[in-house]
Amino acid sequence: MLKAYIRGIYSTALSKLIVDHGGKLYNPSQVIRKRLGYSEEINEFNISIMDRNSLQGIRGFGEVEAVEELRDLLFEKLLDVVFWIKGKSGKLCTFKVEFPYFSKRKLDEIRSSVCPTLMGHHYAKAYGPPLSTMVEEAEKKLEMGVDIDKEGYERKVECCKLPSSVEIAHMKLNGNLILLGNGKVESDSWPIRITRKVISYGTYDGLGIEKEVGDVIVTEFEEASFYYKTTYYSKEGEIKGYYYNICTPVEIYKNGVRYVDLEVDIVALPSSIPQLIDEDLLDQAVEKRIISEKLANVVKKESSGLIDKLVKELLHS
């Protein structure tokens, strides 16, 4: 049984999830007690949950069995959650969790079952001011019974997402975060188109073609998409190749783009049949219980559908 000490921006939704699962809360705040109608008292906990510094998920420590139970619960309830268990020492371990796009949306729904919640609540909290402040003020009005244009506020949340320049936060399945560097935003509508110039020599991953100084990399992001497209151009403007990265649904923040790279990629040279690569790495992530089998199946379906689409486009070009 989960006996959880929880604090942070996800505390209401996670407390509700754990209590509904049959778990108990250690020293919950008065706000949580009121929202959940929770009155039980326990004198110990087997898992501690708090925000990550990025606010993109949670971290904590606890007994291995409790941490694994939390992981299995989140895998059951949240489609795109990514869960890392680290630092095992006897019966204890530490853990880190990423809540991508659909996980945040589902946590919004869970929170809304116990208190007024705008869709996009957890996204706004992770985004920070001024968006988080606007959402907090709107939800306070709802709690006081003030009639507000809820859909109007939710549209404002949607409209706060287009940055003028971006940093690409590329999270790997090993838990490491790679910042791909700032790119210039070339479009002010979906998809967001980001251009970067190559300043070093090398080889383009998956394509096996030479990377040269002066090449231009154009990447297109669509919010909530399970992939993004990168096109590589020579300095003369000729297309060198295409690269589709399969990832958790893309999120757009004021300082850039964020996703977890799910290792599967689709690559193609100009006028060639696209190829799916590294699918075995996705299966390994399932075996290691970093992602759920449910997410892997969705990713495989998305990848297959994308290849079919690209082949049809090639045949009709």
DSSP string, the chain: --EEEE-STTHHHHHHHHHHTT-EESS--HHHHHHHT-----S--SEEEEE-TTSSEEEEEEEHHHHHHHHHHHHHH-TT-EEEEEEEETTEEEEEEE--HHHHHHHHHHHHTTS---TTHHHHHHH-TTHHHHHHHHHHHHHTT----HHHHHHHHHHT---SEEEEEEE-TTS-EEEEEEEEE--SSSSEEEEEE--S-EE-TTT--EE-TT-EEEEEE-TT-SEEEEEEE-TTS-EEEEEEEEESPPEEETTEEEEEEEEEEEEE-TTS--EEE-HHHHHHHHHTTSS-HHHHHHHHHHHHHHHHHHHHHHHT-
Rounded distance, CA 48 to CA 214, Å? 49
Q: In terms of pLDDT, which residue wins out, 148 or 195?
A: 195
CATH architecture of the domain formed by 170-315:
Beta Barrel (2.40)
Mean pLDDT of the chain: 92
Residue 275, token pair as written in the block: 């190829």
> How would you class 211 by CB atoms within 10 Å of its CB: exposed for 0-12, middle for 13-18, buried for 19 or more?
middle
Segments making up each domain of the chain, as ranges = 3-101, 116-159, 170-315
The region of weakest confidence among 64-73, 91-100, 171-180, 284-293 is: 171-180
Residue 189, token pair as written in the block: 């509508």
Whose CA is closest to 51, among 93, 18, 7, 16?
A: 7
pLDDT at 195 over 70: yes
Q: Stretch 237-247: mean pLDDT, rounded?
A: 96
pTM: 0.93
pLDDT at 159 over 70: no
* Residue 245 pLDDT class (50, 70, 90 cuts): very high
Which range scores top for mean pLDDT: 51-65, 146-160, 171-185?
51-65
How far is C-alpha 204 from the geometric centre of its chain's CA atoms? Answer: 25
70-109 tens-digit pLDDT = 999 999 999 999 999 998 889 999 999 999 999 999 999 9
The region of weakest confidence among 3-17, 59-73, 164-178, 289-303 is: 164-178
Q: Which residues contact 182 (CB under 8 A, 6 or more apart)?
A: 165, 166, 167
Rounded distance, CA 154 to CA 156, Å? 5
- How many of the other CB atoms lie within 10 Å of CB of 287? 10
Q: Please give the share of the chain, as a percent, with pLDDT higher than 90.
A: 74
Place of tokens 């020492």: 89
Beta carbons of 238 and 213 less than 8 angstroms apart: no
Q: How many residues does the chain have?
A: 317
